Structure 1
Amino acid sequence: MNRISENDLDAVVCYILMMNGNSLSTTELREELRDFLQRYNGLNSGDLDYLKNRNDQKIDQIIRNIVSHRHESGIINEGLVEYNGGVLTVTQKGIKVAETVIASTL
């Protein structure tokens, strides 16, 4: 299994936000996302490797990049999620993305 990329998480992040009242803090999203990925075997050993000279894992960096890349690329830049004051909120466009992915499994 390949390591997870930021784009791999788009629909999952939107889904998690939807399931949590449409908004979470970045810390809450990180916890919920890690839990979801671990529950559904979405993480591999490469995702869990610790970053050099850091006390966190590669998956944590990918999650942080959701916010840090918001002006350049990713789900915030694409309008699927809004970021304001440390809180991420799924938009109608993000809800549609999550629903489309879920519907495609039926």
Structure 2
Amino acid sequence: KRILMPGVLVLCIYGVFAVNNNIFDVGVMFVMGWVGYIMMRNRIPAAPFLIAFILGPLLEDNFRQSMLMSGSDPSILFRGPITWFFWLLTTITVFAITRSTLRKRVPLS
């Protein structure tokens, strides 16, 4: 570990800098490294963060496209039966996760 970790760090710095020749990217790499370290120390899973990081821009682009198509009318998000199905599925999922989390925190007596 004493040899491998510094070697990997040097290669990461070199790779990040080589992409855009920008030192700001290296700073972002270090900040995100600290965020990952803090998440690991607090036992926060990385998978939801990674999924949000990847799917966030896709969601934003599609939301912007739907608002442009509807002339900024938010009712486009509730028009068809398939949209109501997905809203209902999302609501049930969020409710179930919240309920499960609260049950784990507060013991029933």
Q: TM-score, normalised by structure 2?
A: 0.26
Higher helix share: 2
* Larger-Rg structure: 2
Q: TM-score, normalised by structure 1?
A: 0.27
Which fold has the larger relative contact order, with Cα–Cα distance below 8 Å and residues 6 or more apart in sequence? 1
Higher strand share: 1
